[in-house]
């Protein structure tokens, strides 16, 4: 599976949009981008996934560049409860071996 690179930490003001970047320059054509998050002392939680089109659900939006070498997870109106470690993962669809890197520790500032 392709390797991902994320900033180790980010801050965002409460109520503002949080934009979390992820680089995956070695992604292959059949690999998806998945985002999970882990709130302190809890198990990881699925957020969203995509192949090449932008995706949106009730939690977040996922913007994937045209060349698919990077993506951005957007939390449109961050709340204190969004403080967590966010993981960007690349793997083939149906490949259940999710490889969690170090992620981005997002802190929402009141």
Closest CA to 78 of 20, 17, 36: 17
Site string for other proteins, 76-95 (x = CB under 8 A): -----------x-----xx-
Report which DSSP code applies to 4. -
Distance CA 103, CA 93 (A): 21
Tell me: does residue 21 bind other proteins (CB under 8 A).
no
Instruction: Look at residue 81 and give its three-state secondary structure.
Output: helix
Q: Does 58 bind other proteins (CB under 8 A)?
A: no
Among 32, 52, 59, 61, binds other proteins (CB under 8 A): 32
40 binds other proteins (CB under 8 A): no
Closest CA to 106 of 36, 55, 48, 51: 36
- What minimum distance in Å lies between the beta carbon of 15 and other proteins? 28
Point out which residues bind other proteins (CB under 8 A).
32, 34, 38, 41-46, 49, 87, 93-94, 96-102
């Amino acid at each position: 599976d392709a390797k991902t690179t994320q900033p180790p930490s980010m801050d965002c003001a409460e109520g503002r949009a949080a934009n979390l970047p992820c680089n995956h320059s070695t992604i292959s054509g059949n690999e998806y981008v998945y985002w999970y998050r882990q709130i302190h002392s809890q198990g990881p939680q699925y957020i969203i996934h995509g192949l090449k089109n932008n995706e949106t659900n009730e939690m977040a939006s996922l913007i994937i560049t045209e060349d698919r070498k990077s993506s951005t997870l957007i939390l449109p109106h961050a709340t204190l409860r969004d403080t967590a470690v966010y993981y960007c993962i690349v793997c083939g669809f149906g490949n259940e071996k999710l490889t969690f890197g170090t992620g981005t520790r997002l802190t929402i500032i009141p």
